Structure 1
Amino acid sequence: MENVLMQVCRETHNLTKRQVARKMGIPSTQYYELETAKLAMTTEHGKALENLYNIKSHYFLEAARQLEQIRTQKEIIKQKKDELKRLNDLMEGGYEFIHQSKQAKAS
């Protein structure tokens, strides 16, 4: 999942990720994790991006917050789907057990 605002700003200014990282004073790997929303953005990151692109830091921080919210929602949905599958498997197992019990009694 990409932080589109960071990506668009970087590409609009014809900068590489490495160049932006250098201008922000952070390692390239850290910048990559910020742009791919794998690392939480700090106020310092937002300020560095504001100074670089002349865009208020709260826009970068809000974009990062929304990405984290989406990631959390996706994880919750995945957990709920897994729970539902386990419940369905349990129900199917119970149905088969009841069905087999009825067949055994009928014999």
Structure 2
Amino acid sequence: MIYLIQERGTQEQIEQMLETLDDYIKLAVDIERKILAGGGELHADCEAVLLENGSKQVDIWGADWYPLTQEVGYESLINIRPRQNNRSMDIQDPAIRERVAEIVKNLLGGL
């Protein structure tokens, strides 16, 4: 189940998002609107939810959330963007990584 998270997620939402992959959640994070979509099998599925909700593709980055360790992973196919100088699946810009981590931890962390 994919959720659009615009305010702090609930424990129930996290548990339902974990049903897809068990120990982590695939996410798409809008770094401008400070929201995310999570829970799909693919980062692109989550990205589609954000796009349908009015996000701009240039603002969306793929990440993973590991609730047990409270860690963020930054690898996703949707992050390959030569136009934005990101030629890798990993988010290469430290400032973008930091914004993604801050948004994920604010919306999903500590649960």
Report the TM range for the smaller structure's normalisation: under 0.3
Select the structure of larger CA radius of gyration: 1
| Structure with more relative contact order (C-alpha pairs < 8 Å, separation 6 or more) | 2
TM-score by length of 1: 0.23
**Bigger helix share:** 1
